[in-house]
């Protein structure tokens, strides 16, 4: 700013401006001039004075709009605070007079609301999802990779990217890609508008937007000036140079663009730390959520091919990972501003203070402060501080996933227990819930559900239900995800969860025909416990139910068909309710589980945060059993009007039903594992068998981890297994390496015993490899050569395995270790004492 301009501006302000204020005005004016230059083809023909004048006028308009938006946001914040206070008061009346616990319950409901927003918008992307899995123009080998590793169809991916950035203009001639691009553009635009209607401020690009997930590690390289320059030089040819202009509208030259890119490299390579002032970094998530996404996007690719070239060199995950992740983040932002106002963080700081005052000191829920739940809900916990540390931790956990969970589906028979208990709890038809399982094998039914927001979990989420961790976006994640797919775990989970959701949608449709006041006391309690109010129910009552196969279903479209202005909110609540109940039926980590699994919300990408996740790996399932079912048992009302059989509502009977059902199913799962391993079933008259079954079924939840041990083990197993249970599989593997393979063999050697070090090393390696432990192939691989190799490495090892099984369980093998084929079939009578 020239001295004359500075003097004029100071005179207009009525005081002398500081240097910082002058720089801020200069920066704003410069940015406005560049923005106008990109949109006004006559900009360069205008004089400098004219350009400055127009930019000043536009900046004034922008400031006025920002001021008006600030007032609007303040008003919205007041309204949302009042609404939240009402919800908390209702929750305190219904569940607990403790405000902190009510606040946690409220955040749990908001988590379901966010999931409802996500599910509805994912349903709008079916054309995109269809395109992403299309095998059009691919070879047989590529189709195999697509099925096994979720690999991309390169041609379709290219056409989709080109169509999206070109605003789906059909330039590729690929109709499927054009439809997919149109679905994506329409969906994110509707989400942008919905976010802005709640006080957000996200602008629209003049070309189609694709998210840009940078792989910090690859961008940074060795962190040198050469790595910085290499990145800038490789990125510059991919840019749309028309987006990089000077204030007068002329394009920046190569040197100027390179300078800009070098600065961008510093931001990406340091995870944004270069933009913070030491000692003044704000707390994570402290800014207004309504400002999310309002910053200008600085890297503009010239076309879809350029975008994909960059992703191939420096991107994190695939284009589809980035797109689905973007929808998830938008859904979270929408849910938070709609529930808590334009500044959810400010809202929660207020609520934490009020809860502290009301409860005379913050009360812990499930051992954690309300702040821990908020950090998970708001996304702070999941945002990595260091990409490199987060990547290392993720790889370590993924290795444990593909090495240890290849047979997890055998344990998942216990899902049937929670499935039917949840069916009874919600007063749904047991017969329908059984029939709907079979209906999931019909493609028309699957399409119907997907169209209405009930999409297979394996398609839209990379959160593994057993590990509670994110997989699929790295090489190790691809291996882990393909192992779970080949084990049939994904198919099992998707089938049961979609079947339950279908039953719930039909049950809600039937219930919607009844006026709120005519509902039973129990049904009103169920609805309000999920955040549905009488006003919400009145909107649901207007729904034009969706018919399918002779039955009516409550769907998002049926609710919207009535034209009620509150449809957005009610649809999110209903879909959130259905999804949440399906995750009771087939356990999935909830907000409490995610907070506990991160040790109270420790952030990813920190040494302690990654250590916590490693320790808690595989504990999400038992924790969810406590946080969902055992908590539901304690909260369930007594004998109120309309409740189902007391066994499913009364607290003692609910717990008894869970224990008996899960223990029985745990016994089936445990016996199945014996047969798959080539052993006869265990004699069920043994008391310790039922103790193992209780732990196997999940009835003891996390305690069961400390009770299950490997009956084929040797010296050091008990200590290694105890460490594995307490400290997680990664540290457990390290303990096994040190205690069993190291100390154990030294101990045996010192006492003149056979060490079996070679066979144990082979077994250790096998426990950290993908595919070789698939439950239906494990025995075949063992007898095809692995048993022989173990015996070769450590003579007598196989006989020790057999004697250990005999000693612990009086158990024989129907397919003896080391033999080519089985001598007989499993002796099923052994389960009943018939030897």
Per-residue model confidence (pLDDT) at position 17: 73
Q: Residue 348 has what pLDDT?
A: 96
Query: Which range has the top average pLDDT, 1-10, 160-169, 381-390, 629-638?
Result: 160-169
pLDDT of residue 224: 92
| Average pLDDT of the segment spanning 300-311 | 95
Q: What whole-number distance in Å separates Cα of residue 192 and Cα of residue 205? A: 11
Give the residue-averaged pLDDT of 335-363: 91
Residue 187's closest CA among 86, 58, 328?
Answer: 328
H helix or E strand, kind and range, residue 593? helix 591-597
Task: Compute the average pLDDT of residues 583-599.
Answer: 93
Reply yes or no on whether the pLDDT at 819 is more than 90.
no
| Integer Rg of the chain from CA | 30
For the chain, the domains span 3-101, 106-276+286-377, 387-664, 674-832
Q: How large a percentage of the chain has pLDDT more than 70?
A: 89
Give the pLDDT score at 475. 86
Report DSSP state, residue 366: T
pLDDT in tens, 716-767: 456 666 666 778 888 888 887 877 777 777 766 776 776 777 878 888 888 8
DSSP letter assigned to residue 553: E
Q: Which bin fits 221, alpha (ψ -120 to 50), beta or left (φ > 0)?
A: left
Considering only the C-alpha atoms of the chain, give the largest distance between any 2 of them, rounded to a whole number of Å.
Answer: 103
How many whole angstroms from its chain centre is CA 309? 27
CA dihedral 801, 802, 803, 805 (to 10 degrees): 90
The pLDDT score that the predictor gives to residue 365 is 74
Cα gap 536→553, rounded to integer Å = 17
Contacts of 794 (CB under 8 A, 6+ apart): 754, 755, 756, 757, 758, 759, 760
What is the pLDDT at residue 722?
A: 67
Local confidence band at 585 (pLDDT 50, 70, 90 cut-offs): very high
Output the pLDDT for position 706: 44
User: Which of the listed ranges 229-233, 615-619, 786-790, 811-815 does the model predict with the highest average pLDDT?
Assistant: 229-233
- In this predicted structure, what is the pLDDT of residue 291? 62
Residues 6+ apart with CB under 8 A from 666: 414, 692, 693, 694, 695, 696, 697, 698, 699
Give residue 712's pLDDT: 42
Q: How far apart are CA 295 and CA 277, in angstroms?
A: 19
Q: How far apart are CA 3 and CA 94, in angstroms?
A: 66
Alpha-carbon dihedral sign for residues 129, 131, 134, 138 = negative
Most confident of 365-379, 703-717, 740-754: 365-379
Task: Please return the burial class of 4, using the count of CB atoms within 10 Å of its CB with bins 0-12, 13-18 and 19+.
Answer: exposed
**Kindly report the CA angle at 334 between 333 and 340, in degrees rounded to 5?**
85
On whether the pTM is more than 0.85, the answer is: yes
Give the pLDDT confidence of 172-198 residue by residue, as tens digits: 999 999 999 999 999 999 999 999 999
Cα separation, 422 vs 103, in Å, equals 25
Tell whether the torsion through CA atoms of 307, 312, 317 and 321 is positive or negative.
positive
Phi/psi at 407 (nearest 5 deg)?
Answer: -115, 15
DSSP 173-196: --HHHHHHHHHHHHHHHHHHHHHH
In this structure, what token pair is assigned to residue 461? 């989420």
pLDDT one-digit tens code per residue, 643-677: 765 545 567 777 787 888 889 999 999 999 999 98
CB 384 within 8 A of CB 217: no
């Amino acid at each position: 700013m020239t001295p004359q301009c500075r003097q004029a501006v100071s005179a207009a302000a009525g005081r002398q401006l500081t240097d910082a204020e002058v720089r801020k005005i200069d920066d704003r004016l410069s940015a406005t001039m560049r923005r106008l230059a990109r949109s006004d083809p006559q900009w360069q023909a205008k004089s400098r004075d004219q350009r400055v004048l127009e930019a000043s006028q536009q900046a004034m308009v922008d400031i006025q709009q920002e001021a008006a938006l600030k007032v609007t946001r303040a008003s919205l914040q007041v309204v949302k605070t009042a609404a939240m206070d009402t919800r908390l008061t209702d929750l305190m009346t219904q569940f607990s007079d403790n405000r902190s616990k009510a606040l946690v319950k409220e955040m749990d409901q908001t988590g379901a609301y966010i999931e409802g927003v996500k599910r509805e918008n994912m349903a709008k992307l079916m054309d995109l999802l269809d395109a992403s899995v299309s095998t059009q123009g691919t070879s047989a080998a590529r189709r195999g990779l697509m099925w096994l590793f979720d690999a991309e169809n390169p041609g379709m991916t290219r056409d989709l990217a080109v169509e999206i950035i070109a605003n789906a203009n059909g330039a590729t001639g690929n109709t499927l890609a054009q439809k997919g691009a149109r679905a994506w553009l329409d969906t994110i635009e509707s989400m942008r508008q919905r976010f802005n209607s709640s006080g957000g401020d996200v602008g629209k690009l003049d070309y189609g937007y694709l998210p840009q997930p940078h792989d910090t590690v690859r961008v940074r390289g060795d962190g040198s000036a050469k790595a910085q320059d290499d990145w800038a030089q490789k990125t510059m040819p991919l840019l749309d140079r028309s987006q990089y202009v000077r204030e007068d509208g002329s394009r920046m030259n190569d040197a100027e663009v390179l300078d800009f890119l070098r600065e961008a490299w510093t931001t990406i390579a340091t995870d944004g730390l270069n933009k913070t002032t030491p000692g003044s970094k704000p707390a994570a998530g402290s800014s207004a959520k309504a400002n999310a996404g309002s910053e200008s996007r600085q890297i503009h690719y010239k076309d879809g091919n350029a975008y994909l070239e960059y992703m191939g060199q420096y991107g994190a995950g695939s284009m589809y990972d980035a797109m689905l992740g973007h929808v998830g983040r938008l859904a979270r932002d929408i849910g938070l501003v709609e529930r808590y106002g334009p500044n959810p963080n400010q809202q929660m700081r207020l609520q934490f203070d009020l809860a502290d005052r009301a409860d005379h000191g913050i009360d812990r829920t499930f051992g954690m402060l309300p702040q821990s739940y908020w950090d998970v809900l708001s996304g702070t916990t999941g945002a990595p501080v260091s990409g490199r540390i987060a990547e290392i931790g993720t790889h370590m956990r993924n290795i444990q996933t593909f090495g240890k969970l290849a047979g997890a589906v055998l344990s998942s028979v216990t899902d049937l227990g929670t499935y039917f208990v949840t069916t009874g709890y919600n007063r749904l038809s047991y017969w329908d819930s059984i029939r709907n399982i079979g209906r999931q094998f019909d493609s028309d039914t699957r399409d119907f559900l997907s169209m209405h927001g009930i999409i297979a979990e394996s398609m839209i989420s990379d959160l593994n239900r057993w590990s509670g961790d994110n997989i699929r976006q790295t090489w190790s994640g691809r291996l882990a995800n393909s192992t779970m797919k080949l084990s049939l775990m994904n198919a099992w989970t998707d089938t049961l969860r979609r079947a339950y959701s279908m039953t719930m949608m039909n049950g809600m449709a039937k219930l919607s025909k009844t006026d709120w006041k005519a509902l039973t006391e129990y049904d009103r309690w169920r609805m309000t416990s999920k955040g549905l109010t009488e006003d919400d129910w009145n909107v649901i009552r207007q729904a034009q139910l969706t018919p399918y196969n002779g039955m009516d279903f409550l769907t998002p479209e049926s609710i919207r068909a009535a034209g009620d202005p509150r449809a957005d909110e009610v649809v999110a609540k209903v879909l959130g309710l259905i999804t949440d109940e399906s995750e009771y039926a087939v356990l999935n980590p909830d907000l409490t589980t995610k907070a506990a699994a991160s040790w109270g919300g420790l952030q990813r990408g920190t040494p302690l945060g990654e250590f916590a996740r490693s320790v808690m790996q595989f504990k999400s399932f038992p924790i969810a059993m406590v946080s969902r079912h055992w908590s539901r048992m304690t909260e369930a009302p007594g004998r109120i009007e309309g409740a189902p059989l007391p066994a499913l509502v009364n607290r003692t009977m609910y717990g008894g039903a869970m224990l008996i059902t899960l223990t029985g199913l745990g016994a089936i799962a445990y016996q199945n594992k014996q047969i798959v391993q080539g052993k006869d079933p265990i004699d069920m008259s043994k008391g310790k068998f039922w103790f193992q079954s209780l732990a196997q079924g999940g009835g003891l939840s996390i305690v069961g981890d400390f009770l299950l041990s490997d009956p084929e083990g040797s010296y050091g197993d008990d200590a290694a297994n105890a460490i594995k249970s307490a400290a997680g599989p990664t540290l457990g593997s390290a303990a096994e390496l040190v205690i069993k393979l190291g100390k154990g063999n030294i101990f045996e050697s010192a006492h003149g015993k056979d060490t079996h070090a070679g066979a144990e090393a082979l077994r250790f390696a096998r426990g950290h490899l993908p595919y070789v432990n698939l439950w239906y192939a494990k025995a075949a691989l063992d007898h095809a050569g692995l048993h022989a190799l173990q015996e070769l490495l450590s003579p007598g090892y196989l006989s020790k395995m057999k004697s250990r099984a005999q000693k612990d369980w009086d158990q024989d093998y129907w397919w003896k270790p080391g033999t080519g084929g089985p001598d007989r079939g499993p002796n099923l009578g052994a389960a009943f004492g018939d030897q």
